[in-house]
Amino acid sequence: MRDKKVRFFVIGLIIFTFILTGVYALLAANLNITGTATGTGDFKIEFSNFTVSDATRATASLNQDNTSLTISTNLSYPGDTVTIDFTIQNTGSLAAIVDNLIINENSTEDFTITINNLTNIEGTTLAVGATTVGSIVVTWNASSVTGTPEDVDFNVIIDYIQAT
């Protein structure tokens, strides 16, 4: 009877060892995953709308990407001014940040170009479809000694980055 118990004990120990080895093999196996993950989405902020306050004093147009607003003004006298209201919209599929608005102008000292609401536009994160508004004001400085009308041509470019 004692031999029978020892034999069952040894057989049980052998079975336990095989089970333990199998469990270890399952847990210690290397898992290799191969493949390519892709993501889709784009980020784009553009001028979606603009309005010139007086079409006889200024014209405006957008470039093909709607990221640059080109403005030409023809002010009549010192102190004259024209305003271009604009809307910027996130038309991409990801949130984006308006990094800044860049004014490229012809550097005449007789005129001042300002962007109203600039502090609320630059650095703003726009969710998909969200908008922000501002206006560009071109003023012929009242203290100018130039008496003949001058054209002022410039563009405003939206510089934007992807929100993280």
Secondary structure of 40-76 as H, E, C letters: CCCCCEEEEEEEECCCCCEEEEECCCCCEEEEEEECC
Other Cβ atoms closer than 10 A to 67: 17
Could you tell me which of 158, 143, 161 has the C-alpha nearest to residue 68?
Answer: 158
* Mean pLDDT on 6-11: 81
User: Which of the pair, 46 or 29, is modelled with greater confidence?
Assistant: 46
- Could you tell me if residue 27 is inside a domain? no
- Could you tell me if residue 11 is inside a domain? no
- Could you tell me if residue 127 is inside a domain? yes
Question: What is the rounded end-to-end Cα distance, in angstroms, of the chain?
Answer: 75
Number of structural domains the chain divides into: 1
- Could you tell me if residue 30 is inside a domain? no
Q: Is 26 a residue whose pLDDT tops 90?
A: no
CATH of the domain at 76: 2.60.120
Q: pLDDT for 54-73, tens place per residue?
A: 999 999 999 999 999 999 99
Q: Is 1 a residue whose pLDDT tops 70?
A: no
Residue 156's domain spans which residues? 45-162
- Could you tell me if residue 7 is inside a domain? no
Structure confidence at residue 163 (pLDDT):
84
Three-class SS state of 22: helix
pTM: 0.73
- Could you tell me if residue 6 is inside a domain? no
User: Residue 149 — φ and ψ, nearest 5°?
Assistant: -60, 140
User: Which of the pair, 105 or 158, is modelled with greater confidence?
Assistant: 158
- Could you tell me if residue 50 is inside a domain? yes
- Could you tell me if residue 146 is inside a domain? yes
